[in-house]
Structure 1
Amino acid sequence: MRTPTRRPRSRLLATALAACLGAALTGAAVAGPAVIGATGAAWAGSPAGGRTLGPTTRFYVDPDSEAAHQAITDLTHGDLPDAAAMARLATWPEAAWFTTGTPAQVKDQVRTLVRHAAAQRAVPVLVAYDIPLRDCSQYSAGGAQSDADYQAWISAFAGGLGNGKAVVILEPDALANLPSDCGPTTDPTGAISAARIADIRYAVGVLEARPGTSVYLDAGHSQWHAVGDMAARLIQAGVAQAQGFFLNVSNFEPTDQIDEYGTWISQCIWFATLGPSWAAGHTDYCASQYYSGAAPNDGAPGDAVSPTDPSTWHWTDAWYAQNVGTPPPSQLTHFVADTSRNGQGHWVPPAGKYAGDPQVWCNPPGRGVGARPTAATGVPLVDAYLYVKTIGESDGQCNRSVPGGTVDPEYGIVDPAAGAWWPALAHTLARNATPALTINPHLF
């Protein structure tokens, strides 16, 4: 990750942002990164605020972000529209990813970020991403070499957090993509997946021991695992000891669908753990985006739940109304959602264009930035909408499953490696933002 320590460069970036955006940033921005966030909405970063994200929570904005650097590059090249778009994007908070390093290094990096956030009187969002067998050893392969190494790494990560308020997105894909999901030969006995669950439980324990840290566990997204399957994994991984779970990281599902899916997961967790005695342990009874016992399921159009047709999801809502009712709000698990790239929803390739897997999750064309980061979501169980995936970073070298192909036919090039900054992608996402990108009004 990039640690924001280059103050002279950050001051130059602030000056360039002012030049790109004119009077809207003049004065406040050129004062330098030390004043960013010093006034405006109330700060929720005090340990006295506990773990709950209040609606006025302001999240940390990195003044040395990739978007800020891209604004400088675009301005230098005379590309004023893209420079202005990148400058606007640079005013919004994004999560900081921690993906490697020794325990001592990650502790120092986390401590540095927390210190910068405190100077900004803001709450940092950190992504811990070092689980063994990460991403099934595919595009984002890597991670700790052993469970013992991971536990030492995550303990050091926790040690760097201190006592201030922080949000930790714990290991994207770690639960939705267990080793047993990677293929029939990866974890035939289930032992590696059991160790993965144990690693996550350990991480929850050491992170939640920090008094101001809110930990969220991986729950995939609405076009992946059924509700009951995901709820079971969360329960096993210790979600009851965490603040909640997260959805849609690095993905593109529309916010309203993610909100509904997350609400079902929360209701299913309650149903199987605190609900009626006959439901104890039975997340498999829960209706989902794939099936609802409340639907007629008689083959007539609209009489069964379809994951790709949200107009049928009322059947799933009906099942929860019948079997869960209205649990005490304090007993329902909360969640956060990544809206960094879902402004245009998910990509649907033209019918028949690709014979194999079109890799709709991997650098899909024509996508856009989604709803701005906020803890004032208006949805009771949604603690925050966040930009978790770094907007403009590649998902990997996609080839849409063209046999022997290395070129991505959607772009006509070999895509940058996973995690690499891709200016053209950043520009597209900013250009297609829904709603349109504006300057963050709570930055100064």
Structure 2
Amino acid sequence: MTARDRAASTGTPGRTGRTGGAPLPRTVAAAAATAALAATAFAAAPAQAAAPAHSAPPAALYTPPANPDADQQILDLVRHRQLKDAAGVLAMTLTPQAVWYGDGTPDEVRASVHKTVVDAARHHALPVLALYNIPGRDCAQYSAGGAADTPQYEAWIDAVRAGIGSLPATVILEPDSLALLPSDCGQDDAQGSRTTERYTEIHYAVDALEPLAGTKVYLDAGHSGWHSVNDIVPRLVAGGIDDATGFFLNVSNYRSDSELAWYGKLISSCLSYVSAGGPAADCPNQWWAVNDAQAWLDAHVHAAPSAMKHFVTDTSRNGQGPWTPPAGVYSDPQDWCNPPGRGTGARPTLSTGDPLADAKLWVKIPGESDGQCTRGTAGPDDPERGYQDPAAGQWFPQQALELVHNANPPLLH
């Protein structure tokens, strides 16, 4: 397969893309942090300050509770006097990240979403909700699951809407839903009915959530190493992009910031061109020469950035860019799946300096596995690592340390 977005498995209701048993008390992890900080010249990300009112716009992005296995790794590192590593993993968990929702009953997801948005509002922070429950999720592969059918999915979305209410939220709507359609993975019928249903489901969610007072909805546009602009734009249109705030890029992948910014600009510009009646096939894509593409944009797209569709990017693991697999070694290198030597990327921010980019976010939870990667071998070991990777969504201690050690910018100061 080509380069792919992968999101963490979300097997329990309201879970934030995390696995494990009852979380350790955060005060225990804080004690570990104190020991680690005493031995390093590290300034951890500050905790969100509480705010008494919810009427003003959120001042920061929300940091949810960490994966309990991350807390356990921090404690283990402190016990073994690996204090700098402990501080690094702590810094990673203290960085604002998305809260993942998949599976679960409508009542469960309503209560869990409401708890998250209320907690975020209390801290005057904006929560990022990654919704991951589309029927046929992930082509029934590593992160298989999701609602059984369209009516169940619509009921689940209605519950999310009730949970958000009038409080602020940014919604990352169904990673892989448009870049990985049923028709892309042999799961459709001859009439294409499952792909049609997918578009219906996504558009339903947009119509349900975007009108909420404080909610912005972003649709799946894959990443710059996957679909061409000419291919992804019609998918976005069919999914209801006209009624959404915009689209998201690079969830669970590794493309560089500059590459994503250009790809996002091309998609936004093509959407503007299509909305004025032009065909998506005419638009420049990411493989055009930059000067030629810019000349086309100058000639054909005249809308102001404020009138165009905006985007957000996932920078949780792109600090070192994508992994280049060794040539000729693997029949399926799975370059998206727990690639070695990656690092966390730019810190989440709502101030990007790009008039089309609303935010850089950590959507994929850094430190959680993409799945059990075998790279075309018989497995079960990951041949790049020499051992078996954790299942999708489970904490991956070795990878967590890689992301800390290779962070760009560094997590430790």
Within a 5 Å distance, the mapping from 1:398-437 to structure 2 comes to 398-402=373-377, 404-437=378-411
**Are the aligned partners of 1:98 and 1:130 in contact in 2 as well (CA < 8 Å)?**
yes
Give the counterpart of 2:335 among 353, 360, 367. Answer: 360
Amino acid at match of 2:299: Q
The answer for unaligned runs of 5 or more in structure 2 is: 1-14
**Are the aligned partners of 1:47 and 1:165 in contact in 2 as well (CA < 8 Å)?**
no
Q: What's the CA shift string for 1:134-187, capped at 9, x where partnerless?
A: 00001110000011000001110111012111111000010000111112x533
Structure 2 equivalent of residue 285 of structure 1:
282
Give the counterpart of 1:9 among 11, 16, 25. Answer: 25
Partners of 2:208 and 2:245 in 1: CA distance: 13
Q: What is the Cα deviation at residue 21 of structure 1?
A: 1.3
Amino acid at match of 1:14: A
SS of the counterpart of 1:160? helix
Give the counterpart of 1:336 among 312, 317, 326. Answer: 312
Give the counterpart of 2:262 among 245, 250, 260. Answer: 260
Partners of 1:7 and 1:348 in 2: CA distance: 36
SS of the counterpart of 1:84? helix
Amino acid at match of 2:214: G
Task: Say if 1:416 and 1:23 are closer, same or farther in 2 by CA, change over 3 A.
Answer: closer
Amino acid at match of 1:267: S
Q: Does 2:293 correspond to 1:320?
A: no
Partners of 1:220 and 1:3 in 2: CA distance: 19
Partners of 1:396 and 1:168 in 2: CA distance: 24
**Are the aligned partners of 1:168 and 1:213 in contact in 2 as well (CA < 8 Å)?**
yes
**Are the aligned partners of 1:249 and 1:338 in contact in 2 as well (CA < 8 Å)?**
yes
Partners of 2:401 and 2:17 in 1: CA distance: 23
Amino acid at match of 1:362: C
Q: What's the CA shift string for 1:348-405, capped at 9, x where partnerless?
A: 1122222x12111111110110000001111110000000001011111111112x33
Task: Say if 1:68 and 1:118 are closer, same or farther in 2 by CA, change over 3 A.
Answer: farther
Partners of 2:73 and 2:64 in 1: CA distance: 14
Task: Say if 1:57 and 1:189 are closer, same or farther in 2 by CA, change over 3 A.
Answer: farther
The answer for unaligned runs of 5 or more in structure 1 is: 30-34, 50-55, 275-279, 291-304, 306-311, 440-444
Q: What is the Cα deviation at residue 17 of structure 1?
A: 1.9
**Are the aligned partners of 1:99 and 1:130 in contact in 2 as well (CA < 8 Å)?**
yes
Structure 1 equivalent of residue 10 of structure 2:
none
**Are the aligned partners of 1:395 and 1:418 in contact in 2 as well (CA < 8 Å)?**
yes
Determine which structure has greater relative contact order: mean sequence separation of CA pairs < 8 Å that are 6+ residues apart, divided by chain length.
2
Q: What's the CA shift string for 1:200-237, capped at 9, x where partnerless?
A: 11101111132101111100000111102111111111
Task: Say if 1:2 and 1:343 are closer, same or farther in 2 by CA, change over 3 A.
Answer: closer
Amino acid at match of 1:213: T
Amino acid at match of 1:228: N
Structure 1 equivalent of residue 7 of structure 2:
none
Give the counterpart of 2:348 among 366, 373, 386. Answer: 373
Structure 2 equivalent of residue 228 of structure 1:
230
Q: What is the Cα deviation at residue 270 of structure 1?
A: 0.3
**Are the aligned partners of 2:114 and 2:163 in contact in 1 as well (CA < 8 Å)?**
yes
Q: What's the CA shift string for 1:317-343, capped at 9, x where partnerless?
A: 23222322x322222110000000000
**Are the aligned partners of 2:272 and 2:308 in contact in 1 as well (CA < 8 Å)?**
yes
Structure 1 equivalent of residue 135 of structure 2:
132
Q: What is the Cα deviation at residue 344 of structure 1?
A: 0.4
SS of the counterpart of 1:139? coil
Q: What is the Cα deviation at residue 188 of structure 1?
A: 2.8
Amino acid at match of 2:48: G
Structure 1 equivalent of residue 6 of structure 2:
none
Amino acid at match of 1:177: L
Amino acid at match of 1:271: Y
Partners of 2:23 and 2:176 in 1: CA distance: 34
Task: Say if 1:121 and 1:48 are closer, same or farther in 2 by CA, change over 3 A.
Answer: closer
Q: What's the CA shift string for 1:11-62, capped at 9, x where partnerless?
A: 2223322332139999x99xxxxx93117xxx8x94554xxxxxx8411112
TM-score by length of 1: 0.83
Q: Does 2:183 correspond to 1:180?
A: yes
Within a 5 Å distance, the mapping from 1:275-314 to structure 2 comes to 280-290=277-287, 305=288, 312-314=289-291
Structure 2 equivalent of residue 22 of structure 1:
38
SS of the counterpart of 2:60? coil
CA radius of gyration, larger in: 1
**Are the aligned partners of 1:135 and 1:177 in contact in 2 as well (CA < 8 Å)?**
yes
Task: Say if 1:90 and 1:431 are closer, same or farther in 2 by CA, change over 3 A.
Answer: same
Structure 2 equivalent of residue 151 of structure 1:
154
Q: What is the Cα deviation at residue 189 of structure 1?
A: 1.7
**Are the aligned partners of 1:347 and 1:365 in contact in 2 as well (CA < 8 Å)?**
yes
**Are the aligned partners of 1:287 and 1:319 in contact in 2 as well (CA < 8 Å)?**
yes
Partners of 2:318 and 2:291 in 1: CA distance: 22
| CA RMSD between the two structures | 2.7
Amino acid at match of 1:141: A
SS of the counterpart of 1:17? helix
**Are the aligned partners of 1:95 and 1:125 in contact in 2 as well (CA < 8 Å)?**
yes
Partners of 1:430 and 1:271 in 2: CA distance: 41
Which of structure 1's runs of 4+ aligned residues deviate more than 6 A? Answer: 23-26
Structure 2 equivalent of residue 106 of structure 1:
109
**Are the aligned partners of 2:245 and 2:309 in contact in 1 as well (CA < 8 Å)?**
yes
